[in-house]
Amino acid sequence: MPQQPESHACRICGQQFDRPGKPDTGDCGGDCVRCMADYRDPDALETMRKVEPDNPKWKSATGHWPGPQIALDCDPDLQEVARLTTMMRDVFDRVLSASNIARTRGTCAYGAILLRNSLEQFGKCAAAVRGGDGALREGAIDQAGMWNGHYWVEGKTPGGVGFVADITADQFGWPNAVVLPMDQARERYRAGDDEIVAEAVDDLEAQITAEARLAIRCLDD
């Protein structure tokens, strides 16, 4: 007797699946095609365009993504954030070069901490490091439409304008310095568990501080 497919639920909407091969309810790793298309997964979008060809929700994302620029023209309050973000990317590039690191992949947490501190101190912003591990469509999306683990900065200007700032977005095909209003940024960035992220950031900051103190002691000796 052929084995019946095991019933399980989409991790996003909770829908139960018993026919995982059916296009409009097909499941991929626990996320149904409809939910994956909601999160702009390219393969899921293609499936939903075939299943519901007249539904404008699944239209091509061409021209829909925030463009590859710092959003200077979106709000005057973001201009100072953009200036500081661009400046800190230049600083970060010099740090990477001095450390013989050629690419930003794997350095996003360091970059996010540097950027957060600068925006708080020099931009008078309320800022925090956010992140996601790439699971359940959390983290940052690349230009191919895939979600990746990543760290970035979210904050508010002194005037209360919410934004996302990122100085390591180039690893995903975006510009090397990104500043977007919060409503646009949600197309590319979705934060995961804040407590887990905060703990990871605290641990990294403690490590950086300890290494800096050790380096100073070595210089004194």
- The pLDDT value recorded for residue 221 is 62
Q: Which of 201, 156, 152, 154 is nearest to 174 (CA)?
A: 152
- The pLDDT value recorded for residue 213 is 77
What residue ranges define each of the domains in the chain, with the CATH number in brackets? 8-58 (no CATH), 78-210 (3.10.550.10)
Q: What is the dihedral sign for C-alpha 21, 27, 28, 29? A: negative
Q: What is the pLDDT of residues 79-132, one digit of tens each?
A: 889 989 999 999 999 988 888 888 888 889 999 999 999 999 999 999 999 999
Q: What is the pLDDT of residues 94-108, one digit of tens each?
A: 988 888 888 888 889
- The pLDDT value recorded for residue 68 is 37
Amino acid at 52: E
- The pLDDT value recorded for residue 124 is 94
- Measuring CA to CA, how many Å separate 159 from each of 124, 134, 178? 10, 32, 20
Show the CA angle centred on residue 206, arms to residues 202 and 211, nearest 5°: 150
Q: Which of 182, 178, 161 is nearest to 169 (CA)?
A: 178
Residues in the chain: 221
Ranges in the chain, pLDDT < 70: 1-32, 35-46, 56-75, 215, 219-221
- Contact assessment for residue 119 and residue 155, using Cβ atoms and an 8 Å cutoff: yes
- Contact assessment for residue 132 and residue 150, using Cβ atoms and an 8 Å cutoff: yes
- The pLDDT value recorded for residue 3 is 45
Close Cβ partners of 91 (under 8 Å, ≥ 6 residues apart): 114
Backbone φ and ψ of 62, nearest 5°: -60, 125
